[in-house]
């Protein structure tokens, strides 16, 4: 496994080529320094624990455990932020390692960079990426070893690939970190560690010397490549191509650019050395246990055959013992089996048509009862439900051209929606939901009844359902102008929506959610409020839709969820932590929609080639830094609107409060938006008119692409940065 003449071990660590110690025994940059303390990668000076040639991995000792201590006597200490830097041929494995944080009420983050191209001496930081996790605990008794590192005293998270440099940092969360936590958990630790190695212990949380327990660091798995190009590129490099052995193959790696080599199937050895891949003799010990054969085994190049001796047979001699064959008996058996099969096929064919017809009828009846059809039918007959229609499967197949893909309006976490046309030429939206739990049938029917009685101009109306299929199909009114997400984030071919239009849509959406929360029967919590679930009708009036994640709650109670549902970027952090769905969960999600309306950014947006950013985090940071105009949509920044935008931003901040108790109700949000529009009505109408005229002047052709107006058409907002916003300290 090493070059001739080179040492194959350093202590108890095997050193296979292209790694090596000594001149001429390694391939750049895989030089290993060997001394009395162990083996070290010369390019990074980290200690080597194990090198895996087949997997392309090297286990090393990560010496960087970041720690920070804040004692109750007012003193504090930390070890700074050390960067672990690797060469371009080594990457931190994003499948075998986790960012790990130990402590309370702090956010831990890994900030890493990718290195590409050039080889040794030309390392270039190409991009930055970051991942984070949050841990919280109120006292030592709240920490439980048995649940592991899941966010109480300890948290772990995965991170992006293609990282050659990284640093871990921690930061207290304002408003949560307090003296009580400080008294029993004064120190916090963050580090990247091999996932299978780390086992959480509650004693780590109140430890002040956790890092000193591991003076040499913690295990870390690195992925390595022999070249920073793809296999197709490397194969044209001639002598520089690393896969030198016959019967070797090139493998493109997933963790960043690069390739490595393996021996082909049926061969073993070192693919980086000429003659390094040798045929495996599957028929000799100890390989027989890995390549079974119950008959006669014959080795071939890269493979083996297994057959029965003459006069014996087996359906699979590799796994089933060979048995002696009686030729006459076998022939008679074959004739008898053939005759029996033919007779059975004739009988089955005669009965098949009738069987299929009865089976289809029984299946429809079973699905109808299973989905609560009888309960719903009784409600309709008793006139308790008079606005709901029960459709047959054939009606909806005909309306949607058998659910043709060309008629898809969209796909979501709870099903697919198709455009359909009924016999009376009315256009509807047909939703095929995903699998429903049979135990929830009564609750599903109750939700159908309540939604059918929901009568609000800003809520998409449920017209009917089909229950004779395995998964119920719902039929809604058709809303033609797409989603609010498309309306906000499309590439404008005309002027962008005015501030008045955005506030009107926000007010209408808030009124719809307030109506659901104040339902006379049982409050309805939507559970998945986002701009993709707000539709716009012919007049661009908001219509809230998609109640696949909705829950009906008893008055003044919450719903405990075993499985979190929703969309990343809109999820209430309190809901993520407590698993309790309340009306205030919808308030938080609506706050994110409000930010989309005034910033023009998506909930997770990209600022250049970097990894996605959280709109909520960027917005709150802009408030703290008194730089609100830096994140708002430039098309709504007009002179005289500073105070209005400040009040809307303050309303968004209130909706995004960390604690649900600190958030307003949806009724209060709707009333506030209505009051703002009423107070600023004249100003908003003037701004709408000026904006429209400006864009018409700049775009003489309706078909010409929209270009933002020159900077002279906008004014700087010098006083918006501090409007009604109290910056946390």
> Quick count: other Cβ atoms within 10 Å of Cβ 606?
11
Residue 491: both structure tokens together: 């590439």
Beta strands in 527-600 (DSSP E): 534-536, 542-544, 551-552, 559-560, 580-581
Q: Can you give the pTM of this predicted structure?
A: 0.47
Q: Which residues contact 285 (CB under 8 A, 6 or more apart)?
A: none
Q: What is the four-CA torsion angle of 340, 343, 346, 348, rounded to 10 degrees?
A: -60
Task: Name the DSSP letter for residue 496.
Answer: P
Q: Out of 40-49, 95-104, 346-355, which region has the weakest mean confidence (pLDDT)? A: 346-355
Exposure string (b/e) for 272-311, b if CB count within 10 Å is 16 or more? bbeebbebbebbeeeeeeebebebebebeeeebebebeee
> Among this protein's residues, is 528 annotated catalytic?
yes
Residue 347: both structure tokens together: 């009988």
Q: Out of 195-199, 392-396, 579-583, 605-609, which region has the weakest mean confidence (pLDDT)? A: 605-609
At residue 416, does pLDDT exceed 90? no
* CB half-sphere exposure, 33, CA atoms < 13 A: 10
Residues 157 and 110: their CA atoms lie apart, in Å, by: 10
Identify the helix (H) or strand (E) that includes residue 328. helix 327-370
Q: Which of 279, 500, 528, 586 is catalytic?
A: 528
At residue 355, does pLDDT exceed 80? no
Taking alpha carbons only, the member of 578, 579, 486 closest to residue 536 is: 486
- Mean local confidence (pLDDT), 102-119: 76
- Mean local confidence (pLDDT), 270-288: 88
Residue 179 pLDDT level (bands cut at 50, 70, 90): confident
At residue 153, does pLDDT exceed 50? yes
> CA quadruple 671, 677, 678, 680: dihedral positive or negative?
positive
Residues 566 and 157: their CA atoms lie apart, in Å, by: 19
Residues 496 and 491: their CA atoms lie apart, in Å, by: 9
Query: What are the structural domains, with CATH classification, of the chain?
Result: 62-208+216-224 (no CATH), 228-268 (no CATH), 373-477 (3.30.200.20), 484-722 (1.10.510.10)
Q: What is the four-CA torsion angle of 27, 28, 32, 33, rounded to 10 degrees?
A: 130
> Quick count: other Cβ atoms within 10 Å of Cβ 486?
13
Q: Which residues contact 266 (CB under 8 A, 6 or more apart)?
A: 247, 279, 280, 282, 301, 302, 303
- Mean local confidence (pLDDT), 516-529: 81
Overall residue count recorded for the chain in this entry: 729
- Mean local confidence (pLDDT), 202-208: 87
At residue 382, the pLDDT reads 56
- Mean local confidence (pLDDT), 55-62: 93
- Mean local confidence (pLDDT), 631-642: 87
Residue 54: both structure tokens together: 């087949």
At residue 586, does pLDDT exceed 70? yes
Q: How far is CA 705 from CA 274, 375, 695, in A?
A: 60, 55, 11
């Amino acid at each position: 496994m090493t070059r001739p003449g080179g040492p194959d071990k350093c202590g108890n660590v095997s050193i296979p080529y292209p790694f090596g110690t000594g001149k001429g025994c390694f391939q750049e940059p895989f030089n290993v320094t060997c001394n009395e303390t162990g083996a070290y990668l010369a390019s990074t000076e980290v200690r080597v624990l194990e090198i895996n040639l087949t997997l392309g991995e090297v286990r090393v000792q990560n010496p960087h455990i970041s720690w920070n201590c804040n004692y109750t006597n007012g003193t504090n200490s930390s070890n700074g932020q050390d960067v672990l830097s690797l060469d371009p041929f080594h990457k931190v494995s994003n499948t075998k390692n986790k960012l790990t944080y130990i402590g309370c009420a702090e956010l831990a983050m890994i900030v890493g960079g990718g290195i590409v191209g050039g080889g040794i001496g030309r390392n270039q930081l190409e991009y930055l990426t970051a991942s984070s996790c949050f841990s919280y605990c109120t006292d030592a008794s709240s920490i439980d070893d048995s649940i592991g590192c899941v966010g109480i005293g300890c948290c772990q998270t995965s991170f992006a690939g293609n990282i050659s440099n990284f640093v871990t940092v921690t930061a207290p969360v304002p408003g949560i970190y307090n003296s009580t936590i400080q008294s029993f958990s004064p120190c916090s630790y963050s580090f990247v560690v091999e996932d299978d190695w780390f086992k959480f212990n509650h004693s780590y949380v109140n430890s002040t010397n956790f890092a000193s327990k591991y003076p040499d660091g913690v295990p870390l798995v690195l992925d390595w490549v022999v070249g920073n190009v793809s296999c197709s590129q490397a194969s044209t490099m001639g002598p520089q191509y690393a896969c030198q052995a016959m019967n070797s193959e090139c493998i493109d790696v997933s963790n960043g650019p690069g390739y490595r080599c393996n021996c082909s199937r049926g061969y073993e050895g070192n693919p980086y050395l000429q003659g390094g891949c040798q045929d495996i003799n599957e028929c000799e010990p100890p390989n027989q246990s890995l390549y079974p054969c119950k008959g006669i085994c014959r080795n071939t190049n890269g493979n083996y055959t297994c057959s029965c001796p003459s006069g014996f047979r087996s359906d699979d001699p590799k796994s089933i013992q060979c048995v002696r064959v009686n030729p006459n008996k076998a022939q008679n058996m074959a004739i008898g089996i053939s005759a029996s099969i033919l007779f059975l096929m004739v009988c089955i064919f005669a009965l098949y048509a009738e069987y299929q017809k009865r089976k289809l009828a029984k299946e429809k009846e079973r699905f109808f009862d299973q989905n609560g059809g009888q309960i719903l039918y009784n409600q309709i007959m008793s006139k308790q439900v008079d606005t709901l229609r029960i459709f047959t499967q054939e009606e909806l197949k005909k309306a949607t051209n058998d659910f043709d893909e060309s008629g898809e309006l969209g796909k979501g976490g709870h099903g697919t929606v198709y455009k359909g046309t009924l016999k009376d030429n009315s256009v509807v939206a047909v939703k095929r939901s995903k699998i429903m739990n049979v135990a929830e049938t009564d609750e599903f029917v109750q939700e159908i009844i309540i939604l059918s009685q929901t009568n609000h101009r800003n809520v998409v109306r449920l017209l009917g359902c089909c229950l004779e299929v395995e998964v119920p199909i719902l039929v809604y009114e058709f809303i033609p102008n797409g989603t609010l997400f498309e309306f906000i984030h499309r590439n404008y071919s005309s002027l962008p929506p005015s501030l008045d239009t955005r506030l009107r849509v926000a007010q209408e959406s808030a009124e719809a959610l307030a109506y659901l929360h104040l339902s006379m029967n049982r409050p309805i919590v939507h559970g998945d409020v986002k701009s993709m679930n707000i539709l716009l009708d012919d007049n661009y009036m908001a219509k809230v839709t998609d109640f696949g994640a909705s829950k009906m709650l008893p008055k003044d109670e919450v719903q405990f969820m075993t499985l979190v549902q929703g969309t990343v970027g809109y999820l209430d952090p309190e809901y993520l932590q407590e698993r309790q769905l309340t009306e205030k969960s919808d308030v938080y999600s609506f706050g994110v929609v409000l930010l989309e309306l005034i910033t023009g950014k998506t909930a997770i947006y990209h600022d250049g080639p970097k990894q996605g950013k959280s709109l909520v985090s960027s917005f709150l940071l802009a408030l703290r830094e008194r730089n609100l105009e830096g994140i708002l949509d430039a098309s709504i920044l007009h002179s005289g609107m500073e105070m209005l935008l400040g009040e809307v931003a303050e309303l968004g901040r209130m909706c995004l409060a960390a604690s649900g108790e600190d958030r307003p109700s949806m009724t209060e949000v709707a009333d506030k938006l209505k009051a703002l529009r009423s107070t600023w009505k004249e100003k908003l109408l003037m701004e709408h008119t000026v904006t429209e005229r400006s864009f018409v002047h700049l775009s003489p052709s309706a078909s010409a692409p929209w270009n933002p107006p020159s900077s002279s058409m906008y004014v700087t907002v010098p006083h918006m940065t501090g409007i009604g916003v109290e910056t946390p300290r």
